[in-house]
Amino acid sequence: MFDVTTEIHFVMQEGRLKSAKIIDGRAVAAEIRVECCERVRRLAEQFGVTPGLAVIVIGDDPASAIYVRNKVRACADVGIRSTRLPFRHDVDPAVVTRAILDLNADPAVHGILVQLPLPPHFAPAKVLRAISVDKDVDGFHLYNVGGLVVGDTVFPPCTPYGVLRLLDHEGISLEGKNVIVVGASNIVGKPMALMLMQRDATVCICHAKTRDLAQFTILADILVVAAGHRNLIRAEMVKTGAVVIDVGINRLEDGKLVGDVDFEAVRLKASYITPVPGGVGPMTVTMLLVNTIASAERIARGAGAGQRDAAVPADVAQ
């Protein structure tokens, strides 16, 4: 088991600095997708079930279109049946809510995903609350978010889940480690911190109002960065031998994608580092597949959440 407190990769080797090991998210995701194919095969053989994912897309945001296309392609690769439900950007939210409730009742659908962001006239929290807990494969329902606090979530949010799988794959221990999470979003930062705490890490969250960010990041055995700011983390802000997980995605004017970490400089100081692209991104989509298959398995075995979400909140049903 790797221990960042005792194993330092920032060493001189034949007169040169040895850089961090690059964690290949594409390779890890490919391994997990092989497992996904096998699980889909077993579902078909044992229960006659094919996992189904419904993706609701509102408007014509170019970035959302790319993300949805990648998700649909990934589903096809492992044998998940996907259905894309497009709506105009000016659609009445009540129409989308009704579509979600219909999908909740459809036994052929095991996962429901609403592609974010939504148009300004939508209340995202209300839309996400309409999704059944049993089919909330993005892990954004209030039940799943709240379940992270007590360790009883049905589906973990895909990006933090993917980060943990990367750390597990590399044999990086979390118990007792100082972990700094930069970014406090509801999608990544907050659930990431809760999931790390469940692994007995000592966690600190930094955000846009944090003063002197470097005084926190320099203490991190493991640094998870999800702030959405290019080159926010520089080499002098990172402890020698730290594990650096870059969740950020920033598109430059020339179209190139970069993360939140100054990759070339930090890799000479870290022990492990994820690249952008090719690090956390492929894992996010893959964990969506894992959650969808898990949902189909739970429902096939009669192990759904049952009555926990049977009563739709009044403001959602309207």
Residues annotated catalytic, as ranges: 71, 115, 138
Helix, strand or coil, per DSSP, at residue 280: helix
Residue 172, φ and ψ in degrees, nearest 5 = -90, 115
Cβ-contact 112, 136 below 8 angstroms: yes
CB distance 127 to 93 below 8 Å: yes
Terminal-to-terminal C-alpha distance of the chain: 52
- Cα(103)–Cα(46) distance, rounded to whole angstroms? 24
Q: How many helices (H) and strands (E) does the chain have?
A: 11, 13
Distance, CA of 101 to CA of 251 (rounded, Å): 36
Single out the residue of 135, 143, 157, 160 nearest to residue 83, CA to CA.
135
How far is residue 221's CA from residue 12's CA, in Å, rounded to a whole number? 21
Is the peptide bond preceding residue 124 cis, with omega within 30 degrees of 0?
A: no
Compute the C-alpha angle 163/168/173, nearest 5°.
Answer: 105
Closest CA to 78 of 281, 301, 287, 279: 287
